[in-house]
Structure 1
Amino acid sequence: MFLCAGLGYDNNLYIIDVKRGKWEAPELLKEAKAFINKHKDSNTKIGKLRYMAVEDKASGTGLIQSISRQTTLPIRAIQRDTDKLTRTMDIVFYVEERRVWLPAEAPWLLNYIEEIEGLTADMSHDHDDQWDPTIDAINDSLAKKPTVFDD
């Protein structure tokens, strides 16, 4: 699954686009490159695509290696050393304080909201694959206190 997010001039995080799917290695690389190209060439009013963050485990490790060779976009390998509940508790403040914004309309929006609202503390929910990159985006953009001038 891929998520594109950006930090606004108001220092709020905007979830711009989500593409959800489960792909095997060759198709995963194709989908990743298509997602990168979609946002790399997108409207400059929303800023430039600065990097792609990829969880460094399972198919993500191969994607990091392949995409690093095939694109000039920097790739950040994400290592997760705490459980999802702990990571959620570390960033939930930003969501509660309305620092994370979603578009008014998007083809993926209903599914995204349903998944996030369905999260449970005991991890008994069905899906949470959209939440990990959301946590990463909040950590990268809000929790680390960057400014809009960071590259």
Structure 2
Amino acid sequence: MSSLRLCCQITYKDKIRDINVLRANKGLKPVRKANTAGSIYARWYLVYQDLLIIIECQVALNKKGPGLPAGMRDLLLYHLANALSWFTISDALENEVAECARKFTPSLSHQEALSYCSSVINRAKKTQIEGKEHRYRYRRETIYRELEDL
């Protein structure tokens, strides 16, 4: 494993965690080289932060219980996982998705959450293995259109 990958991951509670995700959750910039400013990785990092704000607002508005309402939990978790896949190492992605599901969609089981995001996780792993890009890309308008009811 390269020294760059070693500095970008930490072990937390016997799980591989990505330092950039932890920094994003605290509102801090990711640990990246300066030349990644304006890159696709920086773009998805910003999408991730925006999704966290949307999720926090929806959780606060949900009067039926903790977490996201049933009608939007899988969609938001999917988009959150896709954004994570762009700046999280693929080995840590499954654990990060599970952690997000635990926090924001406690009504979903661990397996349900991972099944909703399985295509995102598989594409991230395939990208890492083959070195060819397989992760989902879509425009700002696509996310807006899918989340406009919120």
Question: When the two structures are superposed, what TM-score results if normalisation uses the length of structure 2?
Answer: 0.31
Q: Which has the higher strand share?
A: 1
Q: Which has the higher helix share?
A: 2
Q: Which structure's relative contact order is higher, taking Cα pairs within 8 Å and 6+ residues apart?
A: 1
